[in-house]
Structures are given as C-alpha cells and as structure tokens.
Structure 1
Amino acid sequence: MLDGVLVRAAKHARLIPEPLLRGLFLAAADAAWLLRVGGERQLESNLAHVLGGSGARPVPRRVLRRTARAGMRSYFAYFAEAMTVGARSDDQLRARIRGDGEGLAPLVALTRGGAGSAPIAMGHQGNWDYAGFWAQFDVAPVTTVAERLSDERLLRTFVDIRERLGMRILLTGGPGLTDRLAEALGRPHVLVPLLADRDLSRRGVFVRAFGSVIRVAAGPAVLALETGSPLYVVTMRRERLRGARRRRAGTPYGYVCEVRGPIDVAPYLAMGRDEAVRALSQAWVDLWAPGIAAHPEDWHMLQPIFLDDLDADRLRDVPDDVAATAGRVRGDADAVEGTADKEDRTAEGGKGRADDHDGA
C-alpha cells in the first residue's frame, strides 16, 4: 500500500502541496512510533547501541523513546521530500543543502582543483538524494548504485528521481558492478558514494562500532584499494533554515553534508586482500560513527544491523573473535537493559512521556 502511495505522490508531485504531504507523513510517523510498528522497534534497538556507546551506561527509556520518535519523523520526512523533489526548482534544492566538515576542502581540491575522483562511504542518514544533487555543483557529478526492488514501479520511480537530479544510477544484481564503478572512478571529476552501513550477505565485512559489531558493505574499501583513490566518508544531519535561505528553500529545514577524510589507502596496499578490506572498512567506520552518535535521530536504520541483535548461528563466515565478541556484548546488553528498566521505574514512576522533536 505504501509503495503505491509513494509512486502516485511522485507522479503528481506538482499537484500536491509540499507542506500537506509533509504533514501527512509526519502524522504517519507519529502513529508508527506510538504503536511501535513499521520498523520502530528495531530502530529503538539500534539507537540503544548508539546512545549507550560501549554499554557502560544504561539508556533511560524516555531518552530512547524521544530519540526514536525524532528518528521516525526524520525518516518519513525524507520520503515526503523524495516524492516531491520533481516539483522543486534547482534554486530551491540548492538552498536546502550545504557541505561542511574537515574533508570537504581536500575533496573539492581533488575533484575540482585537480582531475581526481573519489569513492565515498555513506550511511542511511539524512536525505542522500539531496546530497547527490548538491555534489554535482560543489564537488563532482555522482555515479552510484540503487538496490533492485521487488516492486518495479517503485524502483523505476526512485531511479527516475535520482537521474533527474543529475546522478548516474547503476542497479545491483548486474554483472561486473564493481568493475563498472571502478571504471567510473578512472575518469576525472567523479564521485562514487555508496550506502554501506549494512550488508548481511557473505560479502559483508565485520567491523566494530558503538561497543558492538556490525557488518558493512565491502564496496567503498574495495573500490579505494583497486583504484588507489583516497576514501572519504559522509554523514548527514538536518538543520533549521533561517532568513533568505529559508525563503529560497521554501521549507523550514535543510541538510548539512558532513565530509570526513581523506583516508589514504597506501598503508593498506601491503596487506593481504581480506585483511586490507577489513582494516580499511574499520577505518571509515571509525570516521562515520561519531557523525551518527552526534545526530542519531537522522539515522534511518530500521533493520537489524548489530550482530548481537542477529542470530549469529545462521550467519556464515563469522570469525571466531567476532562471534565471541557478539556473545559477550549480548550478555552485557541484557544486563544493561534490565538496569535501565529498573532506573526508569524508580526515577519516573511510570510518568515519562516523549517530548516533541523540533527537527521535524
């Protein structure tokens, strides 16, 4: 049902007032949060890892619920924006996003000042469609990947949106995808950003994050190693717009594209292939995780990602050290959860409520 709504909204974007659609999606987000459906429970579980860090401190229930509500609203707001992007002017879109971070200047110097190209590791955060649009003007044009969906109409809708925004889209499942991406990086002035914070397939790479273990996509590390290109990391967050920029954007909120890096691949080239991919993946995750921790409400991860939330016995190729870590973390998490529940009951007497989130 939701897929059909998204397709129809995209086709008739110019006929739908953006504030109306946004309001409807935020109401749906609040309903999903209140009823704890549509991935909300899993989002809470993921956020507990982020907010709890290494697990040394319990996460108060009220904090977790408040952040989860903000996360659901951010996630649904993204869909409202994505479905109406076809009705926005270039000037509106450019006013809605800006770049920042210590990695931005070297990335611009590489791709605009020189003739270089770069792979980028990203997570499911913020509005990556806006990021791809912004990049072509301030950094370099984007070639990226879209996952094949079972709903062909929805897939075509998302691909059309991103191609209209100036991106070149390659679909997963085709032959030689990595080679095609490496070929793109061999040309001047190209960015290859990949959503890489979750990959449960046999090709996924185990890394440590937030006191636990996650399995990320190997793509960013593989491309950097194969091409010798420096690897960058991007996280995104929402920000309130003001003054002339808000009037140009036609909306009260926009996004900041935080660029981190570069990570020089030279130290990894002497390693064995698997060791290098794992070490380089850990390096980009170490840059990525602080951006998620700083703005967890904008992380749209509604699927299981942490190894201790998964059935490790059903996962293949789990290294012994990773499996042992997952077992220890699962035991610690159970203890922390029990402590947190006890603290909530004691401190709040069952009277806590989630506060409104200003970011959506």
Structure 2
Amino acid sequence: MSTDRGKGHAAAGSGRPSAKDRLVDGLYGLGWAGVKKLPEPVAAGLGRLVADRTWKRRGKSVLRLEANLARVVPDADPARLRELSRAGMRSYMRYWMESFRLPAWSRERIASGVEIQDLHRLTDTLEGGRGVVLALPHLANWDLAGAYATSHLGHPFTTVAERLKPESLFDRFVAYRESLGMEVVPHTGGSAFGTLARRLRRGGLVCLVADRDLSASGVEVKFFGESARMPAGPAILAQQTGALLLPATLWYDGRMMRGRVHPPVDVPETGTRGEKTSLMTQALADAFATGIAEHPEDWHMLQRLWSADLDARPEDRS
C-alpha cells in the first residue's frame, strides 16, 4: 500500500536535506524507535492526545479534511462536520500509532485485530494461480491489512511508495514495509509498472492505494457527485496482465479493524483501452465511495482531491 504521507522538500538549489526535512525524518525515526516500546494503551492514548490537540488548532489539514468530508456527508451541519473531523483525526493518529508499533506485533496480535469480509474473492483467485490487483482508498490502516496478508494469509505482495524527501525518510518507509513482508518499488523512476506487471503475470498480488492521483495524468471520475481524478494504473495492469481487479475498503470497529473485499471490476469486452480504463476506474471510485460513505471518520484524506479544489489552487496540491 503506497504512501503519500510526510512529504518534505529539499533545500532550494541544494541536494542536501533542509533543516525541516531533517526534523521530519528525526521525528519519524523517533516514532518507530519509541512508540513501539510503549504499552499499547499508552500508545493509543498518546495518539488521541496528539489528534485532539491538532484538531483544536484548526490548521490547514483539519480544515481540508472537513472540506472533503462535506462532500461525503453533504447533509452534515457545521457541528456534525467538526465532530467527524475530530473522529477523523483520531483515526488518522491511530493509523500512525499502529504503524509505528506494527514491526513489533506478533502474528497472533495482527490476526486477532483484523477481520475481512468476502476474503475468499482474493484467496480463491490467488490459489487458482491468477494474479490480483487489490485497490484500496485511504481508509483505516492499509499497512495493517498488508501485514495481515503476509503474516496470516501467507500471501506476500508488491506495492508502490512515493519517493519522499529527504531520501532517508523514503528509506525508512521502505525498510518499515519490507519488515512487514512487502516488496516495495518506488513510484517514480519508470520501472514500477513493469515490476508490478511481472509479479501479476506470475500469479502474484499487487496492492495499491488508489483514491488519489499523484501523477496528474489520472482518469477523470465522478466521486460523490463531483469530478476527481484517480490513478489509471490498477485498471491498466488488469487489462495488460489478465489479473483480477478487486476493490477493498477498511474501517475501525473498536479494537478491531474490519474490511470488505468488493466484487471484482471486470475488463469490459468492448471499447478502446482508454474507454475500458475509464469505466474500470469509475467502478473502483464507486466501490471506494460506498466504503467511505459508510465510515467517513476513517477516511484519511487531508489533501485536495476534487478537481474544483485543485483548479482553484493549482500551485498548491496539498
């Protein structure tokens, strides 16, 4: 499951990381080194404390989350949106607290905290020798779902990570996900698609977080009634490799993380590749919207997503 979190920027005109980049990298390192040593209730409480303080500051990310949630829950009044955004920040920080602790969790701890409906759609296909593209939105903890797939189901998989700055932060994310049994390839560099295609043709599993286009060349879809762009990769991979395209959604339910594997998105029998890609990506968007509408507080979308927002601030796509 790819990441677009914690992005930094190199110092202008220099290949060296800026002071801010070094600080960000150090904080992530502290999280992975320190939080996993805390008792689980303490870590959970710390996450809620950080989330509540961040929410009360009403910063850019919180306001963006509320603006996004206003599309998802259009009948929500301002009080309801504030309630949802507070729950959303707590869910977001739960993701981080869990992710910092995941490398120290046993197989039993991972398995006891995850329950996925209709998982047979995934496992039966893989056991039959056919590759699967599993596409997810930014709901709950996709890294935990990945750890569950590798440790409990015994299905290693390949995913894509955005190349972050500073490079040391990207290296941390790669090492973290590889420690959970994932194969990670960088989003940029030109070789990601070929690597994913090879894995799928061999009957492997590829997992992609696919509700936000990072390439600026995605497919236009209708998402909660408005135009947005989502990655074309999942649909094109399925067309070119014969892999099955499966949407999945996740949500938190008390101590548990639950999920659902939705019905497959089939390749249309007729049409150009572009037309097929458009139809398949729209079907993914519809499946994502179903899961997000059911659990809006677990959708960690703190960035601009809809075309109207991106067009309004083309210089700021955060």
Alignment of 1:1-360 (within 5 A): 1-37=23-59, 39-52=61-74, 58-101=75-118, 104-112=119-127, 114-136=128-150, 137-138=152-153, 140-188=155-203, 190-199=204-213, 201-240=215-254, 253-265=255-267, 267-268=268-269, 270-311=270-311, 314=314
CA RMSD between the two structures: 1.9
Residues 84 and 314 (structure 1 numbering): CA distance in 2 closer, same or farther, change over 3 Å? closer
Provide TM-score, normalisation by structure 1: 0.77
Q: Is the Cα–Cα contact under 8 Å of residues 64 and 304 in structure 2 kept in the other structure? A: yes
Residues 4 and 264 (structure 1 numbering): CA distance in 2 closer, same or farther, change over 3 Å? same
2: CA distance, partners of 1:217 / 1:41: 25
Following superposition, the deviation at residue 167 of structure 1 comes to: 0.9
SS of equivalent residue, structure 2 residue 262: strand
Higher mean C-alpha displacement, 212-221 vs 40-49: 212-221
Q: Is the Cα–Cα contact under 8 Å of residues 85 and 297 in structure 2 kept in the other structure? A: yes
Following superposition, the deviation at residue 313 of structure 1 comes to: 8.8
Higher mean C-alpha displacement, 273-282 vs 200-209: 200-209
2: CA distance, partners of 1:36 / 1:51: 20
Higher mean C-alpha displacement, 149-158 vs 65-74: 149-158
Percent identity between the two aligned chains: 39
2: CA distance, partners of 1:200 / 1:173: 10
Unaligned runs of 5+ in 2: 1-22
2: CA distance, partners of 1:312 / 1:289: 23
2: CA distance, partners of 1:128 / 1:262: 19
The one-letter code sitting in structure 1 at the alignment partner of 2:86 is R
Q: Determine which structure has more spread, i.e. the larger CA radius of gyration.
A: 1
Residues 313 and 22 (structure 1 numbering): CA distance in 2 closer, same or farther, change over 3 Å? closer
Unaligned runs of 5+ in 1: 53-57, 241-252, 316-360
1: CA distance, partners of 2:51 / 2:43: 12
